[in-house]
Amino acid sequence: MEQNIKYGLAGAASVKKKNYSYLFINVLLAIILPLLSVLWDCLYEHETFSWELIGKWFIFFAVGIRLFTAGISQASNPAFTGGIFKMKTTESFAIIRELGFANISLGVMGILSVLNNNWRVMAAVTGGLFLGLAGIYHLFKKPDSSNELIAMVYDLFALVIIILYLSVTLFF
């Protein structure tokens, strides 16, 4: 009942509604695809299991593919992101599209980092900073939709993995 007062009836419905496809995509990009890629490289490419290898695939998928696809979605369909943040007017769409362009740019850096180890640290720093700040913002804002909660958990998880990757690869 308190949610109905705080968010209105429509807001309360969006808090309770589960978006399993969005959850699945995020789990796929943050855990399953990086793990499968690391296992493939270890078993079939005879790579040594290391934080470098984990970082290579985590940054490719969790930063690169995630931000690139989010950017494409935001640039082509700003109403979806606007709905997550309760921005219903078309005036907000220009800003959401520009956020999409930023996500595309960061995503490309993460994708290209799979080709060059020297780019990986920069992709980790910029992508981790972006996702970390977004996650912290969601945390303090207190998500009011399942999509926003999923995004918050994803962003904070990515931040932790990227901090571990940078700590181990740069300082040890």
Q: Is residue 110 part of a domain?
A: yes
pTM over 0.75: yes
Q: Is residue 127 part of a domain?
A: yes
Q: How many folded domains does the chain comprise? A: 1
10-14, 24-28, 143-147 — which is least confidently predicted? 10-14
123 CB neighbour count, 10 Å cutoff: 26
pLDDT, tens digit (0-9, with 9 covering 90-100), for 84-107: 777 878 889 999 999 999 999 999
Q: Is residue 4 part of a domain?
A: no
- Position 154 scores a pLDDT of 98
Could you tell me the residue range of the domain that residue 75 belongs to? Answer: 19-167
- Are 56 and 34 in contact by the 8 Å Cβ rule? The answer is no
Written as six digits, the tokens of 130 are: 């972006």
